[in-house]
Structure 1
C-alpha cells in the first residue's frame, strides 16, 4: 500500500512540474556583413625548368638561372624570408621522344615563391623574371594584411544585422526580443584573391582592385511577452 502511495505522489509531482514548465519561444535568424579592403601584398609563384640528357647538366642550368633571379630580387629589396627557391623536381621527359628513338632526357625544375609587401615592385619583379628565363608564372595571390581584424569587425556587424532582423520579427508577433541563446559562426576570412600575373611588365597602370571580407552568423534569440 505504501509503495502505491509513493508512486502516486511522484506522478502528481511530475504533473505539477510539467504544468509549470512554459514553452520558450525563440526565433532563429541569419546575419551577414562585408568589409572591403585593397590588397597590399602579393605572393608570386614561378618556375624555372630545363631539359637535358644528364640530370646534372639540367640542374646546373636551373641553379644558375635561379641564382641570377635571386640576386636580382635582392637588389630590389626582397629579403631572404620573402623568398623560397628550395623546391626541386626531377622527372623523365617522356614527351621529348615517345618512340624512344633519341637518348632519354630529364626535366629539372625549381619553384620560386616571392612574397612582396610593396606592390609597387610587382611589375618590376615580373619583368626581371621574364628577362632571366622563368619558364612558368602561376596566378598571383593578392593578400590583405590585417584581414583578421577586419573580419572581427565584420563579425560584429553580422551579429548586429541578425539582432535587428530578430527584433523586427519579435515586434511583428507582439513579443519582446530576449537574449541570444545560440550563436553559430558561418563566415570566414577571405582566401587570397587570384589573378593572372603578366609575363612582361608594361607601361599600363596596374589596378589591384578590392577584396571582400565576409562574415555570416546564425543566431537563436529568445522572445518574451511584454
Structure 2
C-alpha cells in the first residue's frame, strides 16, 4: 500500500507541474497556445547560401599512354616516360607527397576483321597520377614541364580551397538567413506569426563541382591558367512553429481532417421469426411452469 501511495503522489506532482507549464506556454505563444485539441501548426522551409573564395590549390590528373608490340615493350616505354614526368614535377616544386598514382592499366589492342576472329595486334599501357599543386603562380610552368617530359594525357584540372571552413560557415549563415526570410514571407501571407524554431538540420554543404579543363599534349609553349574563384554551397532545413489565430485555425482544420470519419449507420433488419415461434401479434399462452428440482 505504501508503494501505491508513493506512485499516486508522483503522478499528482507531475500533473500539477504540467498544469503550471501549460499557461506559461500559452502566454508565450508557444505550441500549446491554441488548445490541446490539436498539435501546433508548423512551417518547414529550405534555405541555401553561397560564398566565393579564392582557391589556393589545383588538382591535376595526368599521365602517359604508350603502345608496343608486346606487353613488356609497352610497359617498359611507359615506365621510362612516366619517370621523366615525375622528375619534371619534382623539379617544378611538386613534393613527392603531392604526387599519387591514380590509375595503372595494361590491355591488349584488338583488331576485328569481318568474318575473322579477333586478334591481338599489340598492347597499350596507361599510367596516371594525380598531383596537388599549391603554388598556383607556377601552374603554367608545371604543365609545360610535364608535357615536355613526355606526358600525353591531362584529364583535367580542378581548383580547390585547402581550408574552406571560413567560407563554408559564411555560406551556412547565408542559408539560415534565406530560410528565415522565406518563413517570414509565408507566415505573413498566411496571416500568422512566426514562432520559435522547432527543428533544424543541414541538408548538404561543401564545394560545388568545378568545371574540368581538358588539354591535349600538343599544347602551346605557354599554358595560360586562370584560377578564378571557388563557390562553396550550404543548404539547411528549418521547421518553425506558427502562432496567432490563423495558425490555430490551420491546426484545428488539420486535426479535424486527420480524424477518422464516422461510418454511416446502417438500417438493421430484424431477424425473421423461427418456424413454430408465435408471431408478434399472436396471443401467447402462459401454460404451466413446472418448478425446477431442488438441488441438495
TM-score, normalised via structure 1 length: 0.78
* C-alpha contact (below 8 Å) 1:142/1:195 kept by paired residues: no
Q: Which runs of 5+ in 2 are unaligned?
A: 1-34, 246-296
The aligned counterpart of 1:170 is 187
* C-alpha contact (below 8 Å) 1:58/1:106 kept by paired residues: yes
The CA deviation at 1:174 is 4.9
The aligned counterpart of 2:176 is 159
Instruction: Give the secondary structure class of the aligned counterpart of 2:206.
Output: coil
The aligned counterpart of 1:87 is 103
* C-alpha contact (below 8 Å) 1:148/1:189 kept by paired residues: no
List per-residue Cα deviations over 1:150-180 (Å, max 9, x = no partner). Answer: 2232112211221233234434555432211
The aligned counterpart of 2:73 is 57
Question: Closer, same or farther in 2 for the Cα pair 1:165/1:86, shift >3 Å?
Answer: closer
The aligned counterpart of 1:214 is 233
The CA deviation at 1:86 is 6.5
Given the alignment, which residue of 138, 141, 144 partners 2:155? 138
The CA deviation at 1:194 is 2.6
Question: Closer, same or farther in 2 for the Cα pair 1:158/1:25, shift >3 Å?
Answer: same
List per-residue Cα deviations over 1:62-119 (Å, max 9, x = no partner). Answer: 1111111111111121111100236321110125x75789973111111121110111
The aligned counterpart of 1:16 is none
- Higher RCO, 1 or 2 (CA under 8 Å, sep at least 6)? 1
How many residue pairs match? The answer is 207
Q: Which has the larger radius of gyration?
A: 2
TM-score, normalised via structure 2 length: 0.61
Q: Residues of 2 paired with 1:54 and 1:47: CA distance?
A: 20
Q: Residues of 2 paired with 1:202 and 1:81: CA distance?
A: 27
Q: Which runs of 5+ in 1 are unaligned?
A: 1-18
The aligned counterpart of 1:73 is 89
Q: Residues of 1 paired with 2:146 and 2:101: CA distance?
A: 13
